[in-house]
Amino acid sequence: MSKVILSHMQTRTCAALIASKIFKSYEDYAYDNESKDVLHGQAEEFEGYANQSLKCCYNLDEEKACEIAIRRIKLLGGVSCLQVAVDADDKTFVGQPCCDQLLNSIWYDKIEPSQFTLLQRFGLLISICTFGLLAPFCVSFREDKSAPISFDNDRKKRYDMTVNETEQDTKPLLSKTKERLNNYGINYSDIYASSPDCCSQGCFNYFRRLKQFHESPFVKFSYNSASYIFFLLLFSYYLLFNFKSPTNETPSIHWTEILVIIIVTTMLFEDIRQFLRQDSRSMMGKFSNYFIKNLFVSLIRIASYILFYIGLILRFTYASTDEDLSVSKIILAYDLEIWYIRSLTFLGVARKMGPKLVMIRKMLIDLSFFTYIILIAMIAYGVTSRSMYNYNADNNTDDLEFDGRSVFRHIVYPTYYLMYGSTDNELTALDRIVLFYFDDKFYIDLFFCLIENPDLSTSIATQVLLAFHMLFVNILLINLLIAMFSYTFQTVQDQTDLVWRYERYSLIREYFDRPPLFPPFIIITHSIELIKFLKRRCSKRNNSNMKKSHAKIFKMIGANREIDKEWSEFESYATNLYARTIVSGQPSSAATLIPSIARQEVPPTTLDTINASQSPSNIDLKAINDEMASIKRVIGDLRTYAEEMNRCMQWMMDAMERVKMSKEPKPKLRSAVTTNGKII
């Protein structure tokens, strides 16, 4: 029934992804494995339905298929296909060539994505170094499109039963438009040249190109990467050379410390802004998306800010002496280590390095579970060995006492390094006892020696325990950890491209929403947005008619109803044949339903021109050929069956003639004749 309903929907791709997400959510609440397998199979079936539907659209028109994958669908709550696929953890959908081309187009925005030559890359580097001043001359941008004058409202396609997007009929259809897409969404494909009224065409194009250059997520990423490297160098220089307590000669803090505080604070404001700008409307949904779904990255991000401000508070409250200042320096040093680890996220944009970061994150999860086993083995040996023999009896060090510091120093700390094979201190203390008592005068009677000297017996027993501990930890557990790492590495390596494309989505989405300015200058953008927010709040209280502003949304939003209608009709037309084959039960693939010959290099036209071009004729011809082949097979089977019937009837009539069952003569059977008159 669900597949029948999908076949009558125009937005069937996103609907199938939502069905897959629902089944995956139910899978977590299943009571037995059989129910989980059934739900998992249903989820995979709808995933395959969505994947094949997107392939049908991509084979027909690549540009429109990319728009279908990222468009906002009001009928389904304003979500997009790519958003649902990422939330459902559908890597095969995100890893399709259509989504890869889409993310690549969003990454460069108005800049031409195919910048492969050395001269083009050098021009892009020069433009970044000059803060975009030379970008209109050195960088290739997407070609301008002539704006459409009118929509063909007379086009009407009949569907027996359709589920379409509905809006209020009071909104008039626009007959003329200049922009297809709203500027607060994704609009990389919406580029129109217009004639300015106030200034010359050349000056207008220069500033338009300059604005488009700085709005590109790729350019934002480049500037933020350079800013982060500068921040790490500045923070390192500050801790190494200028972290000193105030004196009479230098009562104030150094300028590097002031700049580090400003940069960290602006980065904190940006993270808060990104947290509040998430798609989830409820606060619980924002916390779930920001912290729970990517717990490891979130913990590192939170720890970096907490340690920095704790160290900063201790820096100004306990800065009288160098001893008091050392506490703050230790905390800030650990915080700097975390900031260096956070810089690894910039490597996720590289195709070769992105999957390696996923491997590291998954290996850390394996290590967290393995740490529990190692900890049990360490504590077991440490407590057992120290209960039999006191290693510090002959030294002038403190004995084992019941406090945290003493337990850590005598039990946890020395046994931890046994995991790395460092047994020198352990064996030296044990061998000292054995070599002392195993003299010539005691060698004759070993049993008497063990009774008279209990330290010797406990030393030998501890050495036996140490041998088994090293065998268990260094050979068994360490090799088990290596095997776990190898399995994780191979699992990610087998799906390198899919993993990289899936992880790149979050990176592109983050920098799509970022302001063009980078820290610390990003505080200017934050101040402007704060002023706008306060102005909107005041206007609501005063009930003034202020123009509504929209936050940037990682979706493609049509400027009017005609654009949404065009998208829905295209998706319905491109996937209609595949949907009918699924309902009829024919095991056909989308790649065979829509041949690749349908993807032709044609100039951008409307949906009417595409539907009237060669692609529909090719698709209809393919369907007709399949039907004709099926009919020929049926006719051949009928002919064979008819010949068998004729042979049987001939045998029966011969038998009846031999026994003379009738006075009438035996009738003659006619041979099967084809349409062209040939006898079979």
Q: pLDDT tens, 553-600? A: 899 998 888 898 999 999 989 888 888 888 877 655 554 455 444 444
Dihedral pair phi/psi, residue 163, rounded to 5°: -115, 100
Confidence band for 308, pLDDT divided at 50, 70 and 90:
very high
Dihedral pair phi/psi, residue 201, rounded to 5°: -65, -40
CA 611, CA 598: separation in Å to the nearest integer? 11
All residues at 6 or more sequence positions from 189 whose CB lies less than 8 Å from its CB, including other chains: 63, 66, 67, 105, 142, 180, 181
Whether residue 348 is predicted with pLDDT greater than 70 in this model: the reply is yes
Q: What is the pLDDT of residue 168?
A: 42
Whether residue 469 is predicted with pLDDT greater than 70 in this model: the reply is yes
Q: What is the pLDDT of residue 54?
A: 92
Highest mean pLDDT among 110-114, 196-200, 290-294, 598-602: 110-114
Q: What is the mean pLDDT of residues 26-43?
A: 87
Map residue 585 onto helix, strand or coil.
coil
Q: What is the pLDDT of residue 154?
A: 40
* Alpha-carbon distances of 154 from 151, 569, 605, rounded to whole Å: 9, 14, 17
CA 168, CA 374: separation in Å to the nearest integer? 64
216 with 188: CB under 8 angstroms?
Answer: no
92 with 59: CB under 8 angstroms?
Answer: no
CA 663, CA 665: separation in Å to the nearest integer? 7
All residues at 6 or more sequence positions from 88 whose CB lies less than 8 Å from its CB, including other chains: 17, 20, 21, 24, 47
Confidence band for 245, pLDDT divided at 50, 70 and 90:
confident
Q: What is the mean pLDDT of residues 254-269?
A: 92
Q: What is the mean pLDDT of residues 499-516?
A: 89
E strands in 584-632: none
- The model carries a pTM of 0.75
DSSP-H helix ranges across 130-216: 135-138, 201-214
CA 107, CA 86: separation in Å to the nearest integer? 17
Q: Name which residue leads in pLDDT, 21 or 323.
A: 21
* Virtual torsion, Cα 182, 186, 188, 190, nearest 10 deg: -20
What is the radius of gyration, based on Cα positions, of the chain?
A: 37
Tokens of 286: 């924002």
Q: What is the pLDDT of residue 18?
A: 92
Q: What is the pLDDT of residue 226?
A: 94
CA 95, CA 354: separation in Å to the nearest integer? 14
Round the average pLDDT of the chain to a whole number and report it.
78
Q: What is the pLDDT of residue 512?
A: 92
Helix or strand holding residue 219 (H, E): helix 217-241
CA 275, CA 266: separation in Å to the nearest integer? 14
Whether residue 207 is predicted with pLDDT greater than 80 in this model: the reply is yes
CA 310, CA 233: separation in Å to the nearest integer? 21
Q: What is the pLDDT of residue 644?
A: 83
Q: What is the pLDDT of residue 641?
A: 81
C-alpha angle with apex 338: 337 to 340, nearest 5 degrees? 65
Q: What is the pLDDT of residue 152?
A: 42
